[in-house]
Chains A and B, each alone.
Chain A
Amino acid sequence: MTTTQQLSADDRARIKDIICDILEIEPDDMTDTSRFKEDHEADSMGAIEILSQLERAFGTDIDQAELATMVNLEAVVRVVEAAVAAKSAQAS
C-alpha cells in the first residue's frame, strides 16, 4: 500500500506550466478545478500529451486508465502524487 505524499509548491507550479503549455492557455486562466475539456478545449490528444509530459518530468509511470480521472489540475496533482509515491515505495 502506498501513501500519498504532498507535492511541493514548485512541483505543483511545474505541473500547471506543463498543462498550460499543452493547452495553449495562460496560467491565470486555469484554476485548480477548471475542467480541461469543458473549459479549456482539450481533446483526447491533449490529455495523453499531459500524461506523457508528466511521466517524463517526474520520471514516473502513470497508468493510462488514470486519464479518465485527470479532468482538472487538482485531479492531476493527485494522480502525480500517487505515482511519485508508488515510485519511491518501489525504490525503498
Chain B
Amino acid sequence: MSPLVISAWSATSPFGVGADPFRAGLEAGRSAVEPVDRETHPGPFEQAALVPEFTAARYVGKKGTRTMDRVTALAVTTVGGLVKDLTDELAAHPEQTGLVLGTGSGSVQSIMDFTRDSLVGERPYHVDPARFPNTVMNRAAGQGAIWHRIKGPNTTVAGGTLTGLLALSYAVRLLRGGHCGRVLCGAAEEYSTQRAWLEWHGRAEEERDTPLGEGSAVFLVESAEAAEAAGRTALAAIGAVRFRACAEPEGAATARRTLADCVRGALDAAGVGPENVRAVLPLAGGGPLATQEAAAVRDALGEARPRWTRLRDLVGDTSAAATSLQLAAALAESGDRGLAPGEAALITGVDRDGMVGCAVLTGAGARR
C-alpha cells in the first residue's frame, strides 16, 4: 500500500471559519482570547477564545438546525469545508468515505441540560425528544455524515487531550484494514458553560486560569496513490502516530521519559532523523506537564533546533480538539504545497490521565 497522506484540511477556529483565517491568525501570531460576554457565558472564566459569530443557523443553515448543538454545528461546518472538494466522489461512492471524529465527552452542555429538564420538569420524562440524540456522544460524527451524505465507517473517538491523535491513528488503521478508500478525520470541541465548569474543577490549581478555546479541524486522509489519482496535492505523509503510558501518572517526572521514548519510537517508525524535524507543535498544556513535554521533545531531538508553535497561547485550551488543531497548524505553516521532502513536523500531547502521544508528519515526496 502506498503511504497514507493528508491531502486536504479544514479548520473552524477562534480565528474564524475555514483554513484561511486559521492560517492568517497563526501567521500573525495573534491571540484570539477575548473577554467573554458574562450574560451568555456565565461560569468561572472571564476570557475565552470563541469562534467569532458562530451559530448553527449562520454556518450550517436555518433549516434542520433548530435543535443542533454547538459542537455538532462546528463539526458539520468543518467537514463541510472539505466535502466541497469531494462532491463527485461522495456522489459516486458515498460508502468509500469514512468519517472519524474526536470528542471529549460529546456535548456536556446538551447532556447536562437534558438531565436538568428531567430533574426540574413536572414529570421526569418532560425532556425534549429531539434533543436526546444530542446527548449521545456520536451525535457530531453522525450528523456530519447525515448532513454530507457520508456513508462509510462513521466512528467517534475520545481520549482527553490526545483525542485528535487517536482519531488520526484510528483512521490510519481503518484505511490499512481496507474498510474504505478515504477518511475525513479530526475532532471538535465547543465552548459551553458546563464545559467551562468541568474544566475549572478538573484542572490542577496551577493551570486553572488558562482560558478555554473551541474549534474543530478535519483532515482528508487517503493513500498517496488515491490523492494523485484525484489530482490532490499530498500535503504531508503520516509518518507515524504513537502512544505510551506513564508508569506513574501522578508523577510528572515520568511524563518526560515516557514522551521522549514515544517520540523516539515514532521518529524511528517514520524513518525520520531528529535533524529532519523542522517544526514542533506541542500541546503546551500549562503546569508541570507542559514543562515535561517540552523537555521530552528536547531530549528526543537532541541538537536539532526546530521552530516551536504553541497554539494554545493563541486559541486557548481547546481540550479534545487541541491535537487536531495542532496538526492543522503544522499543515498551515507548511503552505499550499505542504511539507517539503525531507522535512518533518512533530505534534505532541500529554494527557492528565497518564497517556502521552505524538504524530510525525513528513514531506510526502520523501518515500521511505
Say if the two chains contact directly (CB < 8 Å).
Answer: yes
- Residues of chain A touching chain B, judged by Cβ–Cβ distance below 8 Å, are 21-22, 24, 45-46, 48-49, 52-53, 55-56, 59, 61
Judging by beta carbons under 8 Å apart, are B130 and A45 in contact? yes
Residue among B66, B126, B128 making CB contact with A24, cutoff 8 Å: B66
Secondary structure call for the B interface: loop
- Taken together as a complex, chains A and B put the C-alpha atoms of A49 and B66 apart, in Å, by 13
Judging by beta carbons under 8 Å apart, are A52 and B126 in contact? yes
Judging by beta carbons under 8 Å apart, are B129 and A24 in contact? no
Residues of A within 8 A of B127 (CB): 52
Secondary structure call for the A interface: helix
- Taken together as a complex, chains A and B put the C-alpha atoms of A48 and B125 apart, in Å, by 12
List B residues 92-140 near A (Cβ within 8 Å). 121-123, 126-130
Q: Is B58 an interface residue (CB 8 A)?
A: no
- Residues of chain B touching chain A, judged by Cβ–Cβ distance below 8 Å, are 63-64, 66, 121-123, 126-130
Known: A56-B121, A56-B122, A59-B122. A24 touches B130 (CB 8 A): no
Whole-angstrom distance between the Cβ of A47 and the nearest chain B Cβ? 10
Known: A24-B63, A24-B66. A49 touches B122 (CB 8 A): no
Which B residue's beta carbon lies closest to that of A46?
B130
Which B residue's beta carbon lies closest to that of A52?
B129
Whole-angstrom distance between the Cβ of B244 and the nearest chain A Cβ? 44
Whole-angstrom distance between the Cβ of B68 and the nearest chain A Cβ? 12
Whole-angstrom distance between the Cβ of B127 and the nearest chain A Cβ? 8
- Taken together as a complex, chains A and B put the C-alpha atoms of A22 and B66 apart, in Å, by 8
Return 23 A-B CB contacts under 8 Å, by A number. A21-B66, A22-B66, A22-B130, A24-B63, A24-B64, A45-B129, A45-B130, A46-B130, A48-B129, A49-B128, A49-B129, A49-B130, A52-B126, A52-B127, A52-B128, A52-B129, A53-B128, A55-B123, A55-B126, A56-B122, A56-B126, A59-B122, A61-B123
Residues of A within 8 A of B63 (CB): 24
Instruction: For the complex of A and B, list the 10 residue pairs with the smallest distance between their C-beta atoms, beginning with the closest.
Output: A49-B130, A48-B129, A56-B126, A52-B129, A49-B129, A59-B122, A45-B130, A24-B63, A24-B66, A52-B128
- Taken together as a complex, chains A and B put the C-alpha atoms of A82 and B328 apart, in Å, by 58
